[in-house]
């Protein structure tokens, strides 16, 4: 059924919107592209999209309002298209209920990976997979065992907890304060703790700990455990930093 796979793109930059439409269509999605909030509301009501790609700066209003309006009704995955150096805005978008964001200019493979992650989480909802796999890692959340290329890796309890929180949100950014709250019970815990433990995890899990490919930092926002590592060398970029 067509409406089940429909992705709503809300972006007022017409050339970027067209590129996104072509990319998503080529990837097998049904796409509806609009350039204003008013159209976005209408098309959302009409098509009930499976996911929404949303630019925040729109001619007739603020995309953050749209996020809140969507979240008041349902859990449709929302991936925000945002400018570089807009950390505060990214955090506000996540606070409002966005699932993730990509930073302009972004690679097409990166965007598709984020979209797949957002859709996957919408499907999983309850009961997450007992074993999460990405790259060389297999993380058994129930047995609390982590393997890298089949070899068991010794992690401290805190290291495991951090990795488990990231694995449960595979491919998505987890905000610093959410990690602190999940692992230390308070979002006011020192963010420096996190940096130390992430450093230890990278030393144990990454092929090149100084150039992490699995445990990636989103500066000013949080960390993510990469679901698709193949795009990191991606070439084509879409959208200008604005």
Nearer to Ca ion, 14 or 75 (CB): 14
Q: Which is nearer to Ca ion, 55 or 100 (CB)?
A: 55
Which two three-digit tokens encode residue 197? Answer: 């433990």
When the beta carbons of 83 and 141 are compared against Ca ion, the nearer one is 83
Q: Name which of residues 123 to 182 contact Ca ion (CB under 5 A).
A: none
**Nearest residue to Ca ion, by Cβ distance, number only:** 57
Q: Which residues of 73-109 are buried (b: 16+ CB within 10 A; e: fewer)?
A: eeebbbbbbbbeebeebbbbbbebbbbbbbbbebbbb
Which CB sits closer to Ca ion, 65 or 230?
A: 65
For position 209 contacting Ca ion by CB under 5 A, the verdict is no
Contacts (Cβ under 8 Å, ≥6 apart) of 148: 136, 137, 204, 205
Give min distance, CB of 70 to Ca ion, in A.
18
Q: What angle (nearest 5°) sits at the alpha carbon of residue 213, between those of residues 211 and 219?
A: 75
Q: How many residues bind Ca ion (CB under 5 A)?
A: 3
Closer CB to Ca ion, 55 or 99, in the complex: 55
Q: In Å, how far are 7, 130, 168 from 214, measured between CA atoms? A: 28, 19, 14
The minimum distance between CB 55 and Ca ion, in angstroms, equals 4
Closer to Ca ion by CB, 130 or 241: give it: 241
CB of 58 to Ca ion, least distance (A): 6
| Closest distance of CB 142 from Ca ion, Å | 44
- From the list 11-19, 69-77, 107-115, 156-164, the region that binds Ca ion by CB under 5 A is 11-19
Do β-strands 78-83 and 100-104 pair in parallel, antiparallel, or remain unpaired?
parallel
The sheet carrying 51-55 orders its strands as: 30-34, 6-10, 51-55, 78-83, 100-104
Query: What do you get for the CA distance between the two ends of the chain, in Å?
Result: 37
Q: Of 57, 14, 17, give the one whose Cα is nearest residue 37.
A: 57
Phi (first) and psi of residue 52, to 5 degrees: -130, 130
Helix (H) or strand (E) holding 10: strand 6-10
Q: How far is the CB of 13 from Ca ion (least distance, A)?
A: 6
Binding positions for Ca ion, 29-68, rule CB under 5 A = 55, 57
Kindly tell me which of 10 and 119 has the beta carbon lying closer to Ca ion: 10
CB of 138 to Ca ion, least distance (A): 41
Q: How far is the CB of 71 from Ca ion (least distance, A)?
A: 21
Report the residue from 5, 12, 39, 47 that binds Ca ion according to the rule CB under 5 A.
12
Task: Note if the bond before 105 is cis, omega within 30 degrees.
Answer: yes
By the criterion CB under 5 A, which residues form the site for Ca ion? Answer: 12, 55, 57
């Amino acid at each position: 059924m067509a409406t089940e796979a429909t992705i709503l793109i809300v972006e007022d930059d017409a050339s970027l919107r067209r590129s996104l439409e072509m990319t998503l269509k080529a990837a097998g999605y049904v796409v509806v592209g609009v350039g204003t909030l008013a159209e976005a509301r209408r098309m959302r009501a009409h098509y009930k999209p499976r996911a929404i790609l949303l630019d925040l700066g729109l001619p007739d209003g603020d995309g953050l309002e749209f996020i809140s309006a969507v979240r008041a009704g349902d859990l449709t995955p929302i991936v925000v298209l945002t400018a570089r150096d807009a950390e505060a805005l990214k955090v506000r978008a996540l606070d409002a209920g966005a699932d993730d964001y990509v930073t302009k200019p972004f690679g097409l493979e990166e965007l598709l990976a984020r979209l797949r992650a957002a859709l996957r989480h919408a499907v999983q909802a309850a009961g997450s997979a007992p074993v999460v796999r990405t790259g060389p890692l297999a993380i058994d959340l129930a047995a609390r065992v982590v393997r890298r290329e089949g070899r068991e890796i010794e992690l401290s309890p805190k290291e495991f907890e951090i990795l488990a929180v990231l694995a449960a949100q595979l491919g998505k950014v987890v905000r610093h304060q959410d990690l602190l709250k999940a692992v230390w019970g308070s979002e006011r815990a020192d963010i420096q703790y996190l940096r130390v433990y992430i450093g230890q995890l990278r030393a144990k899990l990454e092929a090149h700990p100084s150039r992490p490919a699995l445990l990636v930092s989103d500066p000013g926002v949080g960390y993510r455990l990469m679901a698709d590592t193949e795009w990191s060398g991606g070439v084509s970029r879409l959208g200008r930093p604005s």
